[in-house]
Homo-oligomer: A and B are copies of this chain.
Amino acid sequence: MNNFTYYVPTKVYFGKGQISHLVELKESGSKVLLVYGGGSIKKLGIYNTVMALLRKIGLNIYELPGIEPNPRIESVRKGVQLCKENKIDMVLAVGGGSVIDAAKVIAGGAVYGGDPWSLVIHPQYILKALPVYTVLTLSATGSEMNGNAVISDLKAHEKWGTYSPFFKPKMSICDPEYTYSVSAKQTASGTADIMSHTFENYFTTVPGGFLQEKFCESVLMTCIKYGPAALEDPKDYEARAALMWASSNAINGLLNAGTGVAWCVHPMEHELSAFYDITHGEGLAILTPHWMRFALNDDTVVKFANYGRNVWGIFGGDDYEVANAAIDRTAEFFTKELHIPGTLREVGIEDDKYFREMAAKAAAGSKGSFVPLTAEDVEGIYRAAL
């Protein structure tokens, strides 16, 4: 096991009606920037509830609606300007990971002299941030309980993740009922995202992480059980709650404490989203089985076989047989149980014209991979997934 620092200061209020804890925002000042997305929170009544609570404690509320599914640097710049002009004290994100990610970089940009894109490209420039609060409405990115943020500059085909401990939310309200209305497509995509975060932690070359490996398998089995259940009945509270708590724990530092993290598929997907603006979780689900087939070799077969036995309950056969069966089951799960498209063509990527450029960037962004990934390897995976 490697040395590690574990630090998750976010206070999570999880469950029905926990929104009432929003009154604790008064600890952080008198002016709040409310950041949200396309307006679904208005349709669902969450917006009115939030506004009523913020008014009750006498906060001055400034609003930044319209954060995009792959949040754009232009929106972040708007938020930063609002914060600076109005001397905002704190940022409240109400939405999914995109909204929370944008809110984090806004919170950093508000107390930074330069352009916020610098904070995306150079995490080391983030030396402080306004307090960030979140109300979660989509189980996927885990942004509600960590310091990560992914921002896109689509004009430049750039999508990068940044990180700061100062971005860790002070408080997150996680009410599974707020995800009842999440579409089947987004529920499936969110489940694939949770699983992908877990795979990135699970497939590590650092020895001694037995507990962490078991924790990863726990999250994967939870997604496999409750992803389809939430599709079957969108108002299944236990399914929505399980996915929500799994999403937070998949990427808050628990699964990779001491075992490193081998970001392999995420960097590849970020290029797909940057060039084609596709749904993140769908891109991950399409690429994952192809990456697994590429990564399976004599050094990794035991790990893949363990995955097959412990997560999918595949017994009988030698390690290679179990490993291959596990990869097949993974692909089938995404396409047949989560109903996610199985190829890049199905999500509108018709040809390979950007593959070389994307592959070069993805290979550069892949750090400490489970198996080394060259630009040629990534290009091959894109082609296999086409």
Contacts and interface: CB of A to CB of B under 8 A. Distances in A.
A245 B1 CA distance: 10
Given A210-B226, A225-B210, A13 B8 contact: no
A11 interface: yes
A29 interface: no
B14 A6 contact: yes
Nearest to A21: B5
A214 interface: yes
A222 B226 contact: no
A9 B170 CA distance: 10
Interface in A177-224: 207-208, 210-211, 214-215, 217-219, 221-222
A318 B297 CA distance: 39
Interface string A1-39: 111111111011111111000000000000000000000
A373 interface: no
B217 A222 contact: no
Contacts of A246: 211
A313 to B, nearest CB: 11
A246 B208 CA distance: 13
A82 interface: no
Give the oligomeric copy count: 2
A263 to B, nearest CB: 21
Contacts of A15: 1-4, 258
Nearest to A248: B6
A241 B208 contact: yes
Given A217-B214, A238-B207, A242-B211, A11 B16 contact: no
A7 B174 CA distance: 13
Nearest to A1: B241
A249 interface: yes
A257 interface: yes
A251 to B, nearest CB: 14
A241 B218 contact: no
Contact of A219 (B5, B13, B211, B221): B211
A82 to B, nearest CB: 30
B208 A238 contact: yes
B14 A3 contact: yes
A16 B2 CA distance: 9
Contacts of A218: 211, 214-215, 217-218
Contacts of A238: 1, 207-208, 210
Contacts of A210: 221-222, 225-226, 238, 242
Given A3-B13, A5-B14, 8 more contacts: A3-B16, A3-B18, A6-B14, A7-B12, A210-B222, A214-B221, A215-B218, A254-B254
| Top 4 closest pairs, chain A to chain B, by CB | A3-B15, A214-B218, A208-B238, A6-B12
11 contacts: A3-B13, A3-B16, A5-B13, A6-B14, A8-B8, A211-B222, A211-B242, A214-B217, A215-B218, A245-B257, A249-B254
Interface of A: 1-9, 11-18, 207-208, 210-211, 214-215, 217-219, 221-222, 225-226, 237-238, 241-242, 245-246, 249, 254, 257-258
